[in-house]
Structure formats: structure tokens, C-alpha cells
Structure 1
Amino acid sequence: MKTTINFFFLCLVPFLINGQTDTQIHAVFETLEQFPKVRDIAISNRGDEAFITVQSPLGEVSVLLQMRYVDGLWKATEILPFSGKYQDMEPFLSANNLTLYFASNRPLSSKDTIVKDFDIWKVERKNLKSSWGKPINIGAPVNTKYNEFYPSLSANDNMYFTSDQPSDLGKDNIWVSQKIKQGYTRPIILPKTINSDGYEFNAFIALDESYLIFSGYNRKEGMGSGDLYISFKTKNGSWAIAKNLGEGINSPAMDYCPFVDEKNKTLYFTSKRSSYKKVNNFRSLEKLMRALNKNKNGQSRVYKVSMEDSSFFKKNKRQ
């Protein structure tokens, strides 16, 4: 597994960092166009199941939706049975497909009704055909009185996540907690090669922990708002200085929530990009409604980048 992953990313590195302008970025899943705002995707390694966050325009409503690949098409099948009441978001599916992690502001007890800060939760199932169990707060030391978001786990279950707890490095930062027999170690903030005095959030960790893709907000070298960055683990185990993925992927709008389908060489991410012009020519209600409900309308939408669709990747693909 480790050899396969490293090979994939040796091929992918020049593509991501150079950010070709001819990159074919596609919005995913036509069935999601019916929702005003979608973000945060997690796809099973079997390729037959996906989880996504559906929100109201301002995010007051935030639910987790399950999707299945049926007869060659992705279909939104249901709101997850435990979701729909509180603000649930940012799903991550474990490597064995039996544990789903997510962020939520739900109260710790089902007897309470007052929402709390965001914590990382999980639900489990016995097998792929069984139902999800009740949400479990993963507890300390990962969860604190501050907000924890966007869990992402490596193959050995080390957990990378975002937290706004106070630190010497800015506002929101990316942290890691090592998996041990007793649970998790006290989280450690990632170094200045990744975090800054600004905002870093929503990180995806490789299965072998060889790279980390995350969002950095309004950095000097960025394209505007949030951009996607990548940092690689060096031979001595330290994190290299993060590099912007470039204009072939990033946009002037918010680009965030990365997820990599390593098996199919596909990067998924959420973006608020817009293709509207400052001067338009809407002469019919039908045309206006079609334009307002399209992708790239300034609302969060999930996009994907296939390495095989990139001319740069084709030219640089190693044998």
C-alpha cells in the first residue's frame, strides 16, 4: 500500500504544484444541484458509497447525506439517521468503512437540547449492510472546550484535525493526535511550515502520512480567500514548507475541504467559485433561474480534478 501511494504522489506532485490552467475541474454528482449548498465529501475505498454535507445558504442547517453508486450513477439516498437536528458536517470514513467521523455542535447527552461548541464525533456499524449506531463523542484529549473540526485519519488511525484553541500560531490551526491502545495522545500543533499566524484549516492526510493537503486563508502568495496547499513529509520525518496548488486548482474564491481518492487518482475539494460576469443579459425568467442554480454560482459546491484529464499529468506521468 505504501509503495502504491508514494508512486501515485510522485506522479501527482508536479501536477499539483504547477497548477496547469488547462486542468479539467468538474462539479460532481448532478443530483446535488438540487441543494443550495454542498461541501465536504468522503468516498469509500470501495467506490460505492459517499457522504457529503448539505447546508442552507448561511449554514444554519447542516446535515450529513448518504449517497450510493447505483447503475452507473451517484444517487442521494437519505439523510443519515442520526443527522438532521444539529449542525453536522465534515464526514470522514475509516479505511475499513465501518466508522464515520464528523464534526457536530450536538450536546453531549441526548437528554440535553442546548448546542455546544463543535466536537469530533463518530458512529460505527458492524458491517457494510448494518445500520449506523448512535453518535459517540470521541472525548478528550482531542475534544476540548474550544472547537474541533474536520477529522482526517491515516492508515494507522492518527487523527489530523482543525482547532481554534489558543496557541502561539494564529487563529485556526491544524493539529495531530497519535493513536495508541488507550485512545489518543494529547494533540500537537503542526509546525510553522504548515500553520501560520493566520488561519489554516480542513486538512486531508495521506494514508501513509507522506503528505497533507489543507486550506490556508488569505496568504500573501494566494489567489484570494482560501487556497489549497500541500506539504510533504521529508526523509527525516519533518514537514516541508507548504506550497500553493496553483491557479489550475485554486480560484479567487474560497477553496477548501480536500479529499483524495488515491485509488482513482482524483482530488475532490469544495469551492465557492463563481462564473458570473459583472454585466449580464438576462431577458427571461427561465434563463435567470438556470443561471442562478448552476454550479459555480458562488455557493459551496464540490469539484474534482482527475489527473488523467490533465495534459501536464499525461506528459509527466511516470511508468
Structure 2
Amino acid sequence: MKLINLLLFIVSFLVLISCKEKETIIPETTTKQIETTKNGVQPFAEHIFSKFTNVRDFTINSEENEAYFTLQSPARELSVIMKIEKKANEWQTPQICNFSGKYTDLEPFLSPDNLKLFFVSNRPIAVDSTNTKDMDIWYVERKTKTAAWSKPKNIGAPINTEADEFYPSVATNGNLYFTTIKKELASEDDIFMSKWKNNAYSEPTILGEGVNTKGAEYNAFIAPDESYIIFGGWRRPDALGSGDMYISKNVDGKWTTAENLGKTINSKGMEFCPFVMNGTLYFTSRRSNVTMNEDGFSDAEELFSEINKYDNGASRIYQVDFKTFISQ
């Protein structure tokens, strides 16, 4: 009888230890899930973008089943515009766009009607030339949303100049917003706007002090109705990281003083390349959440898992519900 009681005691003790071990694991997992939900920012198509260390410049169509992004080599020697499609509710393997892959291409932007795709490239303007030039704004177009893209077309003057032009963003009325540097302004990158009138672009004008400063402003997304603009600001006094995203609203034709989008979206890393569709903000971030175990790492697989997690400082695509920010 004593032997039986001893065995029952040992079994009960082992069960108790097992339960306590589970109790210490479950709360940790739940806490992480709660923190992720509270943070609001989520990886986009993690099974795709976790494979790359340097992706950026995301744009998606209104049906949310066709998207484009820039894939770059780690040191950015290669820069190619890629396309992904959603089929059976699953994002498929990225493919090189038929107009990209030879030159330095980046920063695709789908027009609100999804019939034009603007991008930046150093490709030659002349068809028979092999001489690359500075970065210009180009575009391809199609007659329907399912048709093939045309051959690339240089947007031309007065937008493209001898300087570099970057990050085109287009409103429903055709007005074009982009980034460039004007030496005569004695400032860094600024955001400009060119109005679309009589099937032509007007001379670009710089956005006001609510948006631009003497520092660098870049990667502007313009709302289709031009009611707000989201852009990157480099090392501003209120920055949380090296580059933060800001929002300015159009009130009676004047841009309000830009506000930092806050720690829900911005991190201690760099956030850039915003694009909003159907109330969701897509953006690129180099955020890092890599942490050291209290006792260090002795297991290689555990170390690899921590290093290779999605938010490990690599340039990747994220998404967040943006409805509350727009309505404020």
C-alpha cells in the first residue's frame, strides 16, 4: 500500500509540474498576441516578404488583388519592380513586371482608376540609346484593369529635369505630387505638385511650410481627393526614429502643420513609402524587435528564429488600419 501511495504521489507531482510549465508558457504567448493586436501594425503577405531583406514602394489596386513593389539587392545595386496577384485568397509568387528588370526601377504608384502605373527609372529616353541618365518619372498605361501594360513613357517636362525626380503620387483629378531637390531653394528634398490641366502638366510648385522644411521630405502619398497627404520626414525634432511618417491635411487649400503619425506606426527605425487603399495604410519599415534572451542563446535554431523574424530590421512591408487617423 505504501508503494502505491508513493507512486501516486510521484505521478501527481509530475502532473503538477507539467501544468505549472504550461502556465508559464501560455501567458507569455498571449501577452505577445495582445501586444501585436494593440500595436495594430501587421506584416503584409509575410510568407512572401519574409524571404527578402530589401523591399519597398508598395502600391495595390482598388480590388486588392493586384499589387506592385520594388525588390532590391541588399546593397541596392539591383532595383526591380515586381508584381504579385491574389488568387484563391492567397498572394502568389512575385513576378518581374514586363517593363522592368534591366534598369534601376523603383517607386511604382497605381493611379486611382488603376489604369496608369507611375514609377521612377534611370533608363534612357531614346529607344536606341543605352546611356542611362538621372532618375526620371515614367509611366505605363492600359485600357482596362486586366489589359497588359504599354511600353514605358517618360512623363517629360516640366516635371522631369536635369535633377532627380522621385516618388510620384497621383490624385483622381490627375494632379501629380513628387519629390525633388531645387538648388535655388537651399533645402534638402522637398515635395512638389504639378496640376493636370488641358491634358498637360503645369509648372510644379512647392508645397507650403506645413509640409516642407529645410530638412528632407520625401515619399508622399496624396489622398485621391487631395484631402490629406502622408510623407516621410528625415530626423525631425519630434521624430521617433531616423525617418518618420507625417500627415498634413488640406484645409481651404492650405496644408496644415504636419503631425507625426505616432508610435503606433512609427518606430525607432525608419518608416517610408506610404500608400493607402480602402482604409488600410501600407508602408515600408526597417523596424526591429530582435531581443536577447535573459540567459543568452545556446540553441542555434532559437538564435536563427530570432534573427530571421519579420521585424528584424530588414526593409519590409507592413499594414495598419488607418481609418481612425483619417477621421481625426
Indicate the residue corresponding to 1:238 in structure 2: 254
In 2, the alpha carbon distance for the partners of 1:92 and 1:121 equals 10
Indicate the residue corresponding to 1:220 in structure 2: 237
Aligned pairs for 1:96-245 within 5 A: 96-168=113-185, 170-235=187-252, 237-245=253-261
Q: Deviations over 1:47-66 (max 9, x none)?
A: 11111111111211111111
Are the counterparts in 2 of residues 169 and 196 from structure 1 also a CA contact under 8 Å?
Answer: no
Indicate the residue corresponding to 1:268 in structure 2: 282
Are the counterparts in 1 of residues 49 and 317 from structure 2 also a CA contact under 8 Å?
Answer: no
Whose RCO is larger (CA < 8 A, sep 6+)?
A: 1
Indicate the residue corresponding to 1:7 in structure 2: none
State which structure, 1 or 2, has the greater radius of gyration over its C-alpha atoms.
Answer: 2
Letter paired with 2:161? T
Q: Deviations over 1:269-288 (max 9, x none)?
A: 11111112367834344334
Task: Indicate which of 89, 93, 102 corresponds to 1:76.
Answer: 93
TM-score (structure 2 length as normaliser)? 0.83
Letter paired with 2:215? G
Indicate the residue corresponding to 1:251 in structure 2: 267
Aligned-pair distance for 1:127?
A: 2.0
SS in 2 for 1:76: coil
Aligned-pair distance for 1:292?
A: 3.1
Aligned-pair distance for 1:130?
A: 2.3
SS in 2 for 1:46: coil
2:84 is equivalent to residue 55 of structure 1:
no
* Identical residues among aligned pairs (%): 44
Indicate the residue corresponding to 2:321 in structure 1: 306
- Larger deviation: 192-201 or 22-31? 22-31
Are the counterparts in 2 of residues 125 and 132 from structure 1 also a CA contact under 8 Å?
Answer: yes
Indicate the residue corresponding to 1:283 in structure 2: 298
In 1, the alpha carbon distance for the partners of 2:186 and 2:99 equals 35
SS in 2 for 1:22: helix
Are the counterparts in 2 of residues 41 and 51 from structure 1 also a CA contact under 8 Å?
Answer: yes
In 2, the alpha carbon distance for the partners of 1:37 and 1:306 equals 24
Indicate the residue corresponding to 1:13 in structure 2: none
Aligned-pair distance for 1:289?
A: 3.4
SS in 2 for 1:291: helix
SS in 1 for 2:318: strand
In 1, the alpha carbon distance for the partners of 2:272 and 2:306 equals 23
In 2, the alpha carbon distance for the partners of 1:293 and 1:142 equals 41
Are the counterparts in 2 of residues 93 and 100 from structure 1 also a CA contact under 8 Å?
Answer: yes
In 1, the alpha carbon distance for the partners of 2:178 and 2:193 equals 6
In 2, the alpha carbon distance for the partners of 1:106 and 1:240 equals 37
Letter paired with 2:276? V
Are the counterparts in 2 of residues 193 and 240 from structure 1 also a CA contact under 8 Å?
Answer: yes
Q: Structure 1 pair 140/98, CA: closer, same or farther in 2 (3 Å)?
A: same
- Larger deviation: 80-89 or 167-176? 167-176
Task: Indicate which of 35, 41, 45 corresponds to 1:25.
Answer: 41
SS in 1 for 2:49: helix
SS in 2 for 1:221: coil
Letter paired with 1:299? A
Aligned-pair distance for 1:35?
A: 1.8
Q: Deviations over 1:191-247 (max 9, x none)?
A: 111100110000000111010000000001111210000000113x11111111111
In 2, the alpha carbon distance for the partners of 1:195 and 1:134 equals 34
Give the aligned length.
291
Q: Structure 1 pair 218/155, CA: closer, same or farther in 2 (3 Å)?
A: same
Letter paired with 2:240? M
Q: Can you give the 5+ residue segments of structure 1 that lack an aligned partner in the other structure?
A: 1-20
Indicate the residue corresponding to 1:296 in structure 2: 311
